[in-house]
Structure 1
Amino acid sequence: MTLRPDLAIIADHVAPGSRILDVGCGDGALMAALRDSKGVDARGLELDSANVAAAVSRGLSVIQGDADIDLADYPDASFDYAILSQTLQTARRPDVVLDHLLRVGRQAFVSFPNFAHWRVRMSLLWGGRMPVTRLLPEQWFDTPNIHHVTIEDFRAFVKARGIEVQGAWFLSGDQQTGSVQANLLAEHAVFKLGGVVRKD
């Protein structure tokens, strides 16, 4: 099974035998890959009932729940990694979700579409309309994306909160691209985060 490119990056950087929580896990593709290739103890939280059923049919431990509400019920540092892939921009309070993600996991992976990519900018500039692309296929009225985050927005957010960035990867199409001008050239971003760096 071939993983989506952002999920493949995450899978490559998860330590074997670790305990993970995949928030917004979809049909469980990442969890299944990590279980089968790295012996990971994977748990999932997913809003969509059809995706929950698909993940459970793979023999995965997934419950139906809402990241905006249900992450608060998980104990501190109960997982080695908490993963939020392509879900941040759909959360009602992404700041609160990220706080819980870093509380629940010793480390966190966050991936999201970059709304400052040049194709998005050109669609707005020349067409005057919200973009519809291969990676953002929904129309403005039926998109699940309610917070249009950019790479620079996210970098500023974690810096302001003193969150340690342990790694960052950027994707143009299905290929990795460099960090130089990533806000313009990358369609997706993946960040690996540590805890909050305390300032004395």
Structure 2
Amino acid sequence: MPVRLDYRLIEQDVASGARVLDLGCGDGQLLRELIDRKGVDGFGIDVDLAEVQKCIARGVPVYHGDMLEGMAMFEDGRFDCVILSQTLQQTVRPDRVVREMLRVGRRAIISFPNFGHWRVRLQLLLKGSMPVTRVLPYRWCETPNIHLLTIKDFFALCQELHLKVIDRMYLTPGYCRLPGLLANLLASMAIFVMEAR
């Protein structure tokens, strides 16, 4: 299975040998890559039993359950890095998840689809219905996404939670990197690296 480009970009911000927690880890592909390529001490959390079984088959240590409940098991600063890849918009309380990520980890890496992308805006304007795109591939009645957000929304959350943004990357639908100036309009996906202040 080919590795998603956003995984490669996330990998760049993970130190070799780091203690890593991957929230909403799915089938464990990213964590397995980090273990194999960077020698991290990795652990995953996912609510989907079928995905947890895939993690186990890959040899990825994993907890089956809610990510907030899973993080509650860990003491402050247990991890060097906590990753939430393409899952923030599926959480019931994104603000609590981000806050807890930076309690159990020194650094957080979060990627999410940008609902402010011009194609999303255009579909809403012209069709008057919820958009379906490459990074938001579900119809409204089938989507796991419950808190869609834009890059500007995420910046506002970072300010509200007093987070320090260390790095950010913006990607187009073809996974080309963009400068920040028009990112909220042109980027289909964003990756943020943060620390608590």
Q: Would you call these one fold, judging by a TM-score over 0.5?
A: yes
Is the contact between residue 63 and residue 70 of structure 2 (CA under 8 Å) also seen in structure 1? Answer: no
Q: Which amino acid aligns with 2:188?
A: E
Q: Which amino acid aligns with 2:94?
A: P
The residue matched to 1:44 in structure 2 has which SS?
strand
Please tell me whether residue 178 in structure 1 is matched to residue 179 in structure 2. yes
Is the contact between residue 86 and residue 113 of structure 1 (CA under 8 Å) also seen in structure 2? Answer: yes
Is the contact between residue 71 and residue 97 of structure 1 (CA under 8 Å) also seen in structure 2? Answer: no
For 1:42 and 1:30, the matched residues in 2 are separated by 10
Please tell me whether residue 59 in structure 1 is matched to residue 59 in structure 2. yes
The residue matched to 2:20 in structure 1 has which SS?
strand
Cα offsets for 1:138-192 (capped at 9, x unmatched) = 1101100000111000001101221000000011022211111100000000000
For 2:67 and 2:192, the matched residues in 1 are separated by 18
Please tell me whether residue 6 in structure 1 is matched to residue 13 in structure 2. no
Cα RMSD, aligned residues only: 1.1
The residue matched to 2:51 in structure 1 has which SS?
helix
1:136 Cα deviation after fit: 1.1
State the match for 1:147 in structure 2.
147
State the match for 2:109 in structure 1.
109
Q: Which amino acid aligns with 1:8?
A: R
For 1:104 and 1:148, the matched residues in 2 are separated by 25
Q: TM-score, normalised by structure 2?
A: 0.96
Q: Which amino acid aligns with 1:54?
A: K
The residue matched to 1:73 in structure 2 has which SS?
coil
For 1:182 and 1:5, the matched residues in 2 are separated by 18
For 1:162 and 1:99, the matched residues in 2 are separated by 10
1:2 Cα deviation after fit: 3.5
State the match for 1:30 in structure 2.
30
Cα offsets for 1:9-54 (capped at 9, x unmatched) = 1111110011100000011111111111111111000111111111
Is the contact between residue 22 and residue 82 of structure 1 (CA under 8 Å) also seen in structure 2? Answer: yes
The residue matched to 1:142 in structure 2 has which SS?
coil
Q: TM-score, normalised by structure 1?
A: 0.95
Percent of paired sites with the same residue: 47
Is the contact between residue 124 and residue 130 of structure 1 (CA under 8 Å) also seen in structure 2? Answer: yes
State the match for 2:191 in structure 1.
190
Unaligned 5+ residue runs, structure 2?
Answer: none
Please tell me whether residue 138 in structure 1 is matched to residue 110 in structure 2. no
The residue matched to 2:72 in structure 1 has which SS?
helix
For 2:2 and 2:129, the matched residues in 1 are separated by 33
Q: Which amino acid aligns with 1:113?
A: P
For 1:45 and 1:70, the matched residues in 2 are separated by 7
Q: Which amino acid aligns with 2:131?
A: P
Q: Which amino acid aligns with 1:63?
A: Y
Is the contact between residue 99 and residue 161 of structure 2 (CA under 8 Å) also seen in structure 1? Answer: no
Cα offsets for 1:58-101 (capped at 9, x unmatched) = 11101111124332232110000001111110000011011100
Q: Which amino acid aligns with 1:180?
A: L
Is the contact between residue 68 and residue 93 of structure 1 (CA under 8 Å) also seen in structure 2? Answer: no
